[in-house]
């Protein structure tokens, strides 16, 4: 074989090719600005368009529970989300024990389906156990396992108020802090509030028994954080790991998201934070119209993300709270725009900014609809507008 040489007697250099370009890196995830996140979350929350044909129990299941610190908020929450909702529907589901009131997420009372009460509570049990660290001084010398056993026997024999439970536990631990004893019982056991507490138009003190006793079946093993991640994204996504941790009151959920990463889509928010989402979940166009909605105090829409800018504009941060109490909120164009309160058939709206005439008319129409839903068939409503002082 003969090798061709150049005049210098060296092998000929190969013909030059194109200069190599930069090695491509991984594509950056698409950015979702607050308005895009707003429309996606409203769609998941059944607030962009009321859900037709969905039962109250199905809605509670889809939303993974409703904040229920007070009796009325779950009813108002469903009035904003379901077409044709009537308060009696949720009340009947509660009487039938299809839904219950129980402490779960963030150590707050939620209205959950029976199935979720039996599975979500075990998921957050570790957080409830850690909560007792704040009461160590008041529980000095208290055997928590024995306390749980005594409390279970008491409330399963007969539903007890917290006052009654404290008094019984003080017999066994007279030197303990009474409040700490009742908190320990609530944290160690899945206690539900029995009816008539929580029923529409009925009064009833908070009396407690265990979820297992009330529902007639044992607590089920938690399906684990992965299943909870998927349900959270279906109701609150797209969302970050910190968002879900805020919603659940849990930590160390990164591993669950990483396990699920091959099944999820990823995005970024305007600050570059990674967001996860279900591939087939709705992500409407950012310009999709969003009708006004009246939400109750403590609605999970406003509490379930570390970054609430998808619903609360930066200039209105902190305007929905006074101390530990939350106000009822008004959404206009999908974002916080006012506060409201109802006293009988009078609904007072205090806006946090100027509304256009068209927006005011839409808000008035939505207010009339709310009053028809929660106050009966009367057509005599008094709707008043004001402005919250800056």
For residue 211, give every residue at least 6 positions away whose Cβ sits within 8 Å of its Cβ, in sequence order, or none: 100, 102, 117, 118, 121, 190, 191, 192, 219
Boundary residue ending a domain (156, 189, 215): 215
- pLDDT tens per residue, range 308-355: 999 999 889 888 877 667 899 999 999 999 999 998 888 999 999 999
Same domain? For 55 and 190 the reply is yes
- Percentages helix, strand, coil for the chain (3-state, rounded to 5) are 40, 15, 45
Contacts from 318-324 at CB under 8 Å and sequence distance 24+?
319/352, 319/388
pLDDT band per the 50, 70, 90 thresholds, residue 23: very low
Boundary residue ending a domain (193, 215, 237): 215
Same domain? For 316 and 187 the reply is no
169 compared with 390, residue with greater pLDDT: 169
Boundary residue ending a domain (215, 249, 274): 215
Same domain? For 208 and 333 the reply is no
Query: Given CA atoms 347, 351, 354, 358 in this order, what sign does their dihedral have?
Result: negative
Could you tell me if residue 161 is inside a domain?
Answer: yes
- Helix (H, G, I), strand (E, B), or coil: what is residue 28? coil
Could you tell me if residue 270 is inside a domain?
Answer: no
Of residues 349, 353, 306, the one with CA closest to residue 333: 353
Residue 5: per-residue pLDDT: 34
Same domain? For 329 and 205 the reply is no
Domain residues for the domain of 338 are 312-387
Rg (CA), the chain: 27
Q: Is the pLDDT score of 20 beyond 80?
A: no
- The total number of structural domains in the chain stands at 2
- pLDDT tens per residue, range 239-260: 999 999 999 999 999 999 999 9
Distance between CA atoms of residues 226 and 257, nearest Å: 7
Same domain? For 101 and 211 the reply is yes
pLDDT band per the 50, 70, 90 thresholds, residue 66: very high
């Amino acid at each position: 074989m003969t090798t061709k040489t150049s005049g210098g007697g060296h092998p000929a250099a190969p013909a030059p090719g194109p200069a190599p370009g930069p090695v491509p890196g991984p594509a950056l995830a698409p950015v979702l600005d607050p308005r895009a996140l707003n429309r996606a979350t409203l769609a998941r929350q059944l607030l962009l368009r009321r859900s037709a044909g969905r039962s109250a129990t199905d809605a509670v299941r889809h939303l993974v529970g409703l904040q229920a610190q007070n009796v009325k908020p779950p009813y108002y929450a469903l009035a904003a989300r379901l077409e044709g909702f009537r308060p009696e529907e949720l009340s009947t589901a509660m009487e039938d024990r299809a839904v219950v009131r129980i402490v779960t997420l963030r150590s707050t009372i939620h209205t959950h389906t029976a199935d979720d009460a039996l599975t979500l509570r075990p998921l957050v049990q570790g957080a409830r156990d850690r909560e007792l660290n704040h009461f160590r001084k008041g529980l000095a010398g208290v055997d928590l396992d024995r306390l749980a056993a005594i409390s279970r026997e008491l409330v399963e024999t007969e539903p007890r108020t917290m006052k009654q439970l404290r008094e019984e536990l003080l017999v066994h631990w007279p030197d303990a802090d009474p409040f700490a004893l009742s908190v320990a019982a609530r944290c160690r056991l899945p206690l539900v509030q029995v009816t008539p507490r929580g029923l529409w138009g009925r009064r009833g003190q908070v009396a407690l028994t265990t979820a297992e006793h009330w529902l007639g079946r044992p607590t089920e093993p938690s399906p684990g954080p992965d299943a909870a991640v998927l349900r959270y994204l279906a109701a609150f996504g797209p969302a970050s790991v910190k968002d879900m941790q805020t919603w659940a009151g849990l930590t160390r959920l990164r591993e669950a998201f990483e396990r699920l990463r091959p099944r999820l889509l990823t995005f970024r928010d305007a600050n570059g934070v990674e967001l996860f989402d279900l591939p087939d979940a709705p992500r409407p166009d950012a310009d999709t119209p969003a009708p006004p909605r009246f939400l109750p105090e403590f609605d999970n829409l406003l509490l379930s993300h570390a970054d609430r800018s998808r619903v609360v504009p930066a200039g209105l941060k902190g305007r929905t709270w006074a101390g530990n109490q939350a106000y009822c909120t008004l959404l206009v164009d999908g974002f916080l725009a006012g506060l409201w309160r109802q006293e009988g058939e009078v609904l007072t709206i205090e806006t946090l900014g100027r509304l256009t005439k068209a927006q005011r008319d839409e808000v008035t129409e939505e207010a009339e609809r709310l009053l028809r839903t929660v106050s009966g068939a009367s057509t005599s409503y008094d709707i008043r507008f004001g402005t919250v002082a800056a």
